[in-house]
Structure 1
């Protein structure tokens, strides 16, 4: 778990896209992101893999969020 947050910060710094959901606020995103991270990375012992990132993205998409180019 100690490696999860730094890894996510590195990955998010490289992104050329962001998440959007019509009518949603930044607080809505933070809540959904937190939920999806808990779901996707639970049991990964702090390791971020392509599969866990895909699960996290699928979770956000399932909650109505879409990737949008910056």
Structure 2
């Protein structure tokens, strides 16, 4: 039973992982971290950090405005 539970938990974790990542030509991981931080502050500071579909769209728009593009894994 324990093995079955672990198997289901592992499969559920994989299903939650996004199938994409952000890329920007010539950018370093520090650039990504800084842009992500700025976009999170801009997006979530005024709604108490609540994640909604609208806030996710704003977050993505912010990242895209900074030159990042979503790339499939």
Q: Normalised by the shorter chain, which TM-score bucket?
A: 0.7 to 0.9
User: Larger Cα Rg: Structure 1 or Structure 2?
Assistant: 2
What is the root-mean-square deviation in Å for CA atoms of aligned residues?
Answer: 1.5
Provide the TM-score with structure 1 as the length reference: 0.79
Counterpart of 1:33? 36
Q: Within 5 Å, which residues of 2 pair with 1:1-70?
A: 14-70=17-73
Count of residues in correspondence between the two structures = 59
Provide the TM-score with structure 2 as the length reference: 0.75
User: Per-residue displacement from partner, 1:21-61 (whole Å, max 9, x unpaired)?
Assistant: 00000000000000000001112112100000100100000
Mapped partners of 1:25, 1:45: distance in 2: 30
* Displaced runs of 4 or more, over 4 A: none
Unaligned runs of 5+ in 1: 1-12
SS in 1 for 2:22: strand
Bigger helix share: 2
